[in-house]
């Protein structure tokens, strides 16, 4: 019995990487009965007589798992965000960050298409980047698109980590990966078409070794998963609110109308980003008005 990591899944086969070698395996029959599906990124125990034939015996506990793309044990999600074309929105960016926070995945923000904006607009993004960095999010932003400095930063971010890349269609995800791993030769737009194929088409999911780390070969959430949260939990996924919540007068403060709210005080002092708070209120209202979903399929 050997331990390894699933690096690729295709048509019921799982390629498991162990000690520098790939082993083609299948899941044991009782997995289906127990409704267990192995995911790319899973750490597993397996046995194999040859590199072409083997069986996964057990899936070791997961740190986290995503449904789109179906991968497990992801360390970080790079949110590739165009500053123009498609038009930039802090609302979409924040929803993507929340989706990662909910999944227990550390977000990184990478701004693309900076050549399409003038200097004044670029200054706005510099201020925005400073705001997100203050929260604790790594942000990669450079005046020239895909500047060497930005790419070096990005490569350093990928090293020794398992990463999923996400962002709107057209944000430049494939272009970014092509810049640091030209031999991948990802046709721009090809990945997203693969994702939007019919549900039952065979879909290969794999982790590709890039820049000393592993990158899921799909663009991650194409925008964001539908959030099904209790509205009272939403603030738990805003790190800057979490940092202040202990100073609020009431436990369980949702930072809207309560007296003695540390978040609103910090906002009034200009310590927090107004856009983040506005997006929070908007999402809060949305979640409050959501009808509860019963029998939600996991």
Residue 236 marked in a binding site: no
Integer Cα distance of 23 and 38 in angstroms: 15
Residue 89 marked in a binding site: no
Residue 114 marked in a binding site: yes
Integer Cα distance of 236 and 260 in angstroms: 18
Residue 213 marked in a binding site: no
Residue 175 marked in a binding site: yes
Beta bridge partners of 40: 71
Rg over alpha carbons for the chain, rounded to the nearest Å, is 21
Residue 220 marked in a binding site: no
Integer Cα distance of 147 and 27 in angstroms: 44
Classify strands 76-82 and 53-59 as parallel, antiparallel or unpaired.
unpaired
Integer Cα distance of 60 and 258 in angstroms: 44
How large is the greatest C-alpha to C-alpha distance in the chain, in angstroms?
67
Consecutive H or E run containing 279: helix 274-289
Name the residue among 37, 42, 40 with its Cα closest to residue 69.
Answer: 40
Q: Are 106 and 100 in contact (CB under 8 A)?
A: yes
Integer Cα distance of 9 and 205 in angstroms: 5
Residue 27 marked in a binding site: no
- Cβ neighbours of residue 200 under 8 Å, at least 6 residues apart? none
Residue 260 marked in a binding site: no
Classify strands 2-10 and 205-210 as parallel, antiparallel or unpaired.
antiparallel
Residue 270 marked in a binding site: no
Residue 153 marked in a binding site: no
Q: Identify each DSSP E strand in 119-230 by its residue range.
A: 139-140, 162-166, 205-210, 213-216
Residue 172 marked in a binding site: yes
Instruction: List the binding residues.
Output: 112-115, 167-175, 248, 253, 255, 261
Instruction: List the binding residues for GTP.
Output: 112-115, 167-175
Instruction: List the binding residues for Zn(2+).
Output: 248, 253, 255, 261
């Amino acid at each position: 019995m050997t331990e390894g990591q699933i690096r690729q899944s295709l048509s019921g086969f799982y390629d498991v990487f162990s000690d520098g070698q790939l082993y083609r395996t299948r899941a044991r029959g009782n997995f289906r009965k127990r409704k267990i599906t192995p995911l790319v990124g899973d750490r597993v125990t397996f046995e194999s007589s040859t590199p072409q034939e083997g069986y996964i015996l057990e899936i070791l506990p997961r740190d986290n798992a995503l449904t789109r793309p179906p991968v497990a044990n992801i360390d970080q999600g790079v949110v590739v965000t165009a500053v123009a074309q498609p038009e930039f929105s802090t609302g979409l960016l924040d929803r993507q960050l929340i989706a990662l926070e909910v999944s227990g995945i550390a977000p990184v923000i990478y701004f693309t298409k900076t050549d399409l904006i003038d200097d004044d607009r670029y200054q706005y993004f510099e201020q925005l980047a400073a705001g997100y960095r203050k929260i604790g999010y790594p942000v990669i932003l450079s005046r020239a698109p895909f500047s060497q400095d930005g790419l070096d930063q990005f490569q350093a971010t990928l090293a020794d980590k398992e990463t999923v890349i996400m962002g709107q269609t057209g944000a430049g995800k494939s272009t970014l990966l092509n810049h640091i791993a030209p031999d991948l030769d990802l046709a721009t737009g090809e990945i997203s078409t693969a994702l939007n194929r019919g549900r039952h088409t065979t879909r290969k999911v794999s982790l590709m070794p890039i820049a000393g780390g592993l990158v899921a070969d799909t663009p991650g959430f194409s925008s964001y998963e539908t959030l099904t949260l209790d509205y009272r939990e939403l603030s738990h996924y805003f790190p800057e609110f979490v940092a202040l919540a202990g100073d609020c007068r009431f436990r369980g403060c949702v930072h809207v109308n309560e007296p003695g709210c540390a978040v609103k005080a910090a906002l009034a002092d200009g310590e927090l980003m107004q856009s983040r708070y506005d997006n929070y209120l908007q999402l809060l209202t949305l979640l409050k008005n959501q009808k509860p979903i019963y029998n939600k399929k996991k």
